[in-house]
Structure 1
């Protein structure tokens, strides 16, 4: 039987954040790496790519993997090899992000994967976490754990820090909807739609308009809002 193999190059940049004296950061870039795909019995399975960076205990970093071609998945392992965190979808997208305070000094390993079984070009970065990263990550964790009373002001704080990020409005809008606050839901969705339009993402903006319209007029024709 003939085995067909297809290899697609993957553009990868790993920006490694190293803590320096005085709390400043030095960003270094590692060489581009390749991600191999193989096709066997009609099934494509991308190989895992691994990267490492030097971290210092107490540093808070944001590890992200983005792609316009496939659903990404990230894993972060500690210097001892223990899995510290993983993420599939983040900030209302198929991209992956981990925001974490490093528990120890040493070499950390980033595992870049494809969740969907598809591969392609991607970008992996490690950088110092921004105030927005911290606020939004905390808000989503509270929301995921069901602590809505704490999540609501946390999303509001994230929006205060950076009002140009549509995902925070959408998450807060969903939270409002779960509480029955339909006018606040509409307001946050409209703010998110405007931001996606501003960013040139008309497809997402239109999808949200349709979702908002559905929420306002359920299938039975009654008024939701």
Structure 2
């Protein structure tokens, strides 16, 4: 129960110093309560090591404490250390984009950030979409641009699939595909976003930007329908 509570708490607390103090203080208290005092007979006879039954609390703790420690270390690594590493890689990627001539490093850091931890992938996907044009218009080679585009597209498509009921990520992948020239694919995700969040004006603006060069006449009809729909909200 303690490990489960601590693992759940790690999702919401970022300053763990006080949490560590409370956690190990509780472990110390449980350990102190489990140490029974020696009986007067054993003290008088000089037998300071009581013969514990096979399933005594002390024997169970001898197994449980190492197991709990291993689980704690693993939870800290996957729930804390790896997300922190992913965050540092993301920061380095954004810093590299601001430095002339280091767009190739930014691509590498984006890939490291995305592959390091699943917990930070939604934020990394958003940053990929927001900075895709900057990378694709930089001075890196065409091969590096293609590698980045395929990586970013796969990451965003996976995020949109995992969060298929979230209009935000449908809009993000739709905007990314629109900005990179994949208008037909962009329209699929933008239409899905409009169904999930029909009152969001930004979605209709993105659809209009995609729809106009594809189907101008239908675009005009849709504009009228959107105006009427939003006017009734």
Structure showing the higher helix proportion among its residues = 2
Question: What interval of TM-score do these two structures reach, taking the shorter chain for normalisation?
Answer: 0.3 to 0.5
TM norm structure 2: 0.37
Find the structure with the greater CA-based Rg: 2
TM norm structure 1: 0.38
